[in-house]
């Protein structure tokens, strides 16, 4: 087989961005992925004029000017603003936590009334410096919002008690005292028009790609295929789990085609009570206001991860971060292998952060 400058393991966003930059710098790359398609978790496929986010809802949002300009070279983004609805039993609330949420929950009207209500609930709890997600959540929004909108959702999402989870997970969610349902605070936001797969296709134009190709089998047969490897799979798997398994959270997606035009009236509806086994239902057509007589919805069921399952989320608590650092110390001594992306760097990265990390990696490597 031909030789390459870089073997890139994983055709997800990190691998695609690195491949594009390397090609631009005159390097010859081979990209492999064990899945039968490119784009990793941002993969979309079109059915009945609807782009389906096969691995869950993907909303692009960033305040990073470089990243925003970068992606806009390849695809256009629409003006979608994520405004999820949270459903707790038969009560519907707006997310993120804002005046619409508080007004519905308590009948308050002004920001001062909302603040007073939350403060009075927090006062009763006597929490010092929050030690875990439960204390963080309670201290942020008080008992009612925590119990109706955070506790059940979080515990099913992560399969653990909120008392055993790191606080940073919900620091992702804004809390504001305005009537603003925008889930994100970032300057730029949208959905890649025509589906995110197009972004991956553009980034990989002119680069050789092998699909349904697992690195561990491939490298046995082709040990000298490339000068260097960029690896975006699981770092613990790369090292044969020699220090033990890192913990991941998996998901099961169940997608249905419905013979109706509009099922839930919003792209994302979260089910925040513990008793319902899924966390959210996505109705894909609303991301792009797609015209179609039918609709596609996806139920997202959180699941424990075991070897062989898809590792969607790293579990960045202290124990796992300490274990990751042991693998990272091995990775730092490699020289010929670069680790990147959500799985290679064991980090709960959003798309913009992955692109930023891939560009930084390419800047450093290709300078
Ligand atoms: P991946 O996309 O996971 O790519 C890694 C690739 O490596 C995979 O295709 C995998 O098959 C391949 N691979 C692994 N091991 C091997 C092997 N041994 N051999 C060959 N190939 C291998 N981000 C946002 O910004 N906004 C959102 O709204 C958002 N929503 C999300 C919703 C969900 C449910 C999830 C799970 C993530 C979400 N993200 C979101 C995060 C986003 O998906 C990631 O930031 C991004 O896709 C990570 O890219 P990556 O290249 O690091 O990893
Ligand atoms: N979360 C919650 N209630 C919700 C939505 C989110 O408690 O209705 C918490 C939950 O712990 C989740 C975290 O906020 O893991 C981050 O949510 P986000 O929507 O950013 O998660 P992602 O899209 O990455 O799964």
The residue whose C-alpha atom lies closest to atom 15 belonging to ligand 1 is 233
What pLDDT shows up at residue 302?
98
| pLDDT per residue as tens digits for the range 146-189 | 999 999 999 999 999 999 998 888 887 899 999 999 999 999 99
CA distance 213 to 191: 29
CA of 105 to the centre of ligand 2 (A): 19
The strand pair at 268-271 and 280-283 is best described as antiparallel
242 is catalytic: no
176 is catalytic: yes
Catalytic residue among 5, 299, 348, 365: 348
Catalytic residue among 176, 245, 309, 310: 176
CA distance 349 to 99: 29
What's the mean per-residue pLDDT of the chain? 97
CA atoms within 13 A on the CB side of 82: 27
pLDDT higher than threshold 80 for residue 1: no
In the predicted model, what is the mean pLDDT of residues 345-356? 97
179 is catalytic: no
**Site to substitute for ligand 1 among 63, 218, 232, most atoms within 8 A of C-beta:** 232
Cβ of residue 95 lying under 6 Å from some atom of ligand 1 = no
**Site to substitute for ligand 2 among 61, 173, 182, most atoms within 8 A of C-beta:** 173
Q: What backbone phi and psi angles, to 5 degrees, belong to 43?
A: -60, 130
At the topology level of CATH, where does 4-76+189-247+312-366 sit? Rossmann fold (3.40.50)
The region that residue 107 occupies, defined by phi over 0 for left and psi between -120 and 50 for alpha, beta otherwise, is left
Residue 361's nearest CA partner among 335, 339, 334, 331 is 339
In the predicted model, what is the mean pLDDT of residues 349-367? 97
| pLDDT per residue as tens digits for the range 263-288 | 999 999 999 999 999 999 999 999 99
DSSP, residue by residue, 193-252: TT-THHHHHHHHTTSEEE-S--HHHHHHH-TTSEEEEEE-S-HHHHTTTTT-PPPEEEEE
CA distance 15 to 254: 27
The region that residue 61 occupies, defined by phi over 0 for left and psi between -120 and 50 for alpha, beta otherwise, is beta
- The greatest distance separating any two alpha carbons of the chain, rounded to the nearest whole angstrom, comes to 70
Which bound ligand lies closest to the C-alpha atom of 145? 2
CA of 12 to the centre of ligand 1 (A): 6
The residue whose C-alpha atom lies closest to atom 52 belonging to ligand 1 is 341
Cβ of residue 217 lying under 6 Å from some atom of ligand 1 = no
Which bound ligand lies closest to the C-alpha atom of 212? 1
CA distances from 7 to 10, 224, 238, 239 (A): 10, 10, 15, 17
348 is catalytic: yes
CA distance 104 to 88: 12
Residue 113 token pair = 């009334």
Ligand 2 atom having least distance to the Cα of 280: 8
307 is catalytic: no
Instruction: With cut-offs at 50, 70 and 90, classify the pLDDT of residue 145.
Output: very high
CA distances from 189 to 36, 61, 83, 243 (A): 29, 4, 12, 40
| pLDDT per residue as tens digits for the range 227-247 | 999 999 999 999 999 999 999
Residue 218's nearest CA partner among 56, 33, 351, 29 is 33
Residue 47's nearest CA partner among 200, 191, 203, 256 is 256
Q: Where are the domains of the chain?
A: 4-76+189-247+312-366, 97-169
In the predicted model, what is the mean pLDDT of residues 309-334? 96
Pocket of ligand 2 (CB under 6 A): 86, 95, 149-150, 153-154, 157, 169-170, 172-173, 270, 272
What pLDDT shows up at residue 210?
98
Compute the Cα dihedral for 210, 251, 345, 75 and give only its sign.
Answer: positive
């Amino acid at each position: 087989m031909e030789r390459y400058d870089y073997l890139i393991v994983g055709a997800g966003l990190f691998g695609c961005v690195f491949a594009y930059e390397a090609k631009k710098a005159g390097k010859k790359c081979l990209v492999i992925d064990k899945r039968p398609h490119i784009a990793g978790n941002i993969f979309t496929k079109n059915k009945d004029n609807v782009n389906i986010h096969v691995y869950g809802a993907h909303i692009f949002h960033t305040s990073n000017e470089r990243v925003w300009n970068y992606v806009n070279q390849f695809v256009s983004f629409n003006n979608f603003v994520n405004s999820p609805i949270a459903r707790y039993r038969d009560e519907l609330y707006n997310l993120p936590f804002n005046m619409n949420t508080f007004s519905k929950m308590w009948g308050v009207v002004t920001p001062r009334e909302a603040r007073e209500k939350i403060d009075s609930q927090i006062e009763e709890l006597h929490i010092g410096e929050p030690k875990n997600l439960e204390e963080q959540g309670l201290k942020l929004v008080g008992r009612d919002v925590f119990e109706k909108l955070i506790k059940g959702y979080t515990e099913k999402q992560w399969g653990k008690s909120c008392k055993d989870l790191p606080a940073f997970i919900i620091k992702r969610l804004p809390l504001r005292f305005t009537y603003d349902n925008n889930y994100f605070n970032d300057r730029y936001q949208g959905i890649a028009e025509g589906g995110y797969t197009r972004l991956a296709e553009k980034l990989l134009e002119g680069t050789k790609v092998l699909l349904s190709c697992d690195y561990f089998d491939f490298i046995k047969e082709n040990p000298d295929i490339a000068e260097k490897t960029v690896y975006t799979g699981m770092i613990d798997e790369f090292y044969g789990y020699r220090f033990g398994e890192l913990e991941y959270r998996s998901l099961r997606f169940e997608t249905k085609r419905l013979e109706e035009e509009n099922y839930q009236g919003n792209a994302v509806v979260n089910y925040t009570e513990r008793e319902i086994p899924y966390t959210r239902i996505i109705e894909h057509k609303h991301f792009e206001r797609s015209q179609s007589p039918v609709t596609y919805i996806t139920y997202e069921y959180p699941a424990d991860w075991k070897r062989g399952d898809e590792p969607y989320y790293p579990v960045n608590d202290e124990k796992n971060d300490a274990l990751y650092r042991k693998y990272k110390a091995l990775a730092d001594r490699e020289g010929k292998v670069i680790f990147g992306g959500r799985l290679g760097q064991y980090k709960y990265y959003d798309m913009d952060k992955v692109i930023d990390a891939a560009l930084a990696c390419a800047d450093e490597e290709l300078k």
